[in-house]
Chain A
Amino acid sequence: MSRRWATGSLLILLCTPALAAPLTSNTALPVAKGEFVAREQILVRERERPDDATVEVNVLISVLGYGVTPDLAVFGVLPLLDKTLTPPTGPKRSTEGQGDLTLFGRYTLWREDMPGRTARIAALGGVIAPTGDDDDRDNQGRLPRPFQNGTGAWGGLAGIVATWQTLDYQLDGQLVYRGFGSDEAYRPGDVYRFDISLQYRLWPKTLTRGTPGFLYALIEANVIQLDRDVLSGARLDTGGTQWFLTPGIQYVTKRWIVEGGVQLPVEQDRNGNAFADEYIARVGLRFNF
């Protein structure tokens, strides 16, 4: 396998919870005991490399959350991917299928509830199971490992998330680490990320009574450090440091939320000849049931 095919991990895409909350990261808001929340998000990502190779990634991310206790919620995240790699010369290569399954728990460590507002801090921890195909092939042979839908390796995640929510706005911040083991001498790069999100109520402009739908404008920032993948001891040209800003909009009702936004790279320091993002567009729906 040539290092020049390396596309970088897709795992940074998958921090997407199912609560009323940020578009690109997690929240500490509760899931009621015994209740389910779900989320479907469509993501379109365009990436490019200095030699003009491009990757287009379309993902359907499904999230299911369940409240085990008032403080403990568990989530499952499964992506369905469709990826196309266009090299500078030669034919395109593509793959589609399910990615790796992420299962994680979130435990509320501290909360302070007040009239019309709440502050919460929660810990996150979980596993990434290698459920995605890591041996997909086309007529040119096996696809490069970083381009496969699955990593082939077990991984884990740990982090902390904090939320301050009022009737007028919501602020969320998180620190998350994702690490991986090895598979066939391939080890995906570790991921470190810091995310912050502000959602500000645009409508209704003034609140009187009842439970109207809320229209929020949101702005989010993501700082992501993605280490290089390693294959047979060689460090691949993947990852780097990225800073995104995400403007978006969200309409929230009691039963469902519809939302959308675009992650725009502000600064990208890629590792060697690694791919960097042009944009990541997200639209989605969340629902209580």
Chain B
Amino acid sequence: MHKFMFSPLMLLMAASAIAGPRYAIDVDGLACPFCAYGLEKRLLEEPAVERVETDVVQGRMLVEVKDNSALTREQADKAIEDAGFTLRSFEALPQ
């Protein structure tokens, strides 16, 4: 029983240990799930970006970049503008 409980936890810890920097990006104008897809694709086209999770309800995107990489506010702004939306805030999350 303990073995099964520990394994996912250990995997999660290991994953966060090797994950790259993460960013929280707030987007204005995003109000339906279908519109979020184009936004995610534009961000994923940035070479540094590894993973994107969208929270349409909060208007927030969590972006994880590759190890030893970074995402600048300008890159995020251009990707969001190309998708037809507006960047409200850009924040690097603590590792």
Instruction: Tell me the B36-70 residues at the A interface (CB within 8 Å).
Output: 36-42, 54-59
Interface residues of A in 152-174 (CB under 8 A from B): 165-167, 170
A-B CB pair tally, cutoff 8 Å: 109
CB proximity of A33 to chain B, nearest CB, Å: 4
**Shortest CB–CB separation between residue A56 and chain B, in angstroms?**
32
For A284, the chain B residues whose CB sits under 8 A away are: none
Known contacts A35-B38, A254-B37; is A113 also within 8 Å of B32 by CB? no
B19 within 8 A of A: no
Query: Please, how many residues of chain B have a CB less than 8 angstroms from a CB on the other chain?
Result: 29
Tell me the dominant secondary structure on chain A's binding face. Answer: loop
A29-41 near B? 1/0 per residue, CB < 8 Å:
1111111000000
Name the A residues within 8 Å of B34 (CB-CB).
19-20, 252-254, 257, 286, 288
A142 part of interface (Cβ distance < 8 Å): no
- Tell yes or no: B35 within 8 A of A by CB: yes
**Are B84 and A67 in contact, CB atoms less than 8 angstroms apart?**
yes
Chain B residue nearest to A165 in the complex (CB): B31
A214 contacts partner chain B, Cβ-Cβ < 8 Å: yes
Residues of A within 8 A of B (CB): 19-20, 29-35, 67, 70-71, 108, 111, 113-118, 165-167, 170, 207-214, 252-255, 257, 286, 288
Interface residues, chain B, with chain A CB atoms under 8 Å away: 26, 28-42, 54-59, 81-86, 88
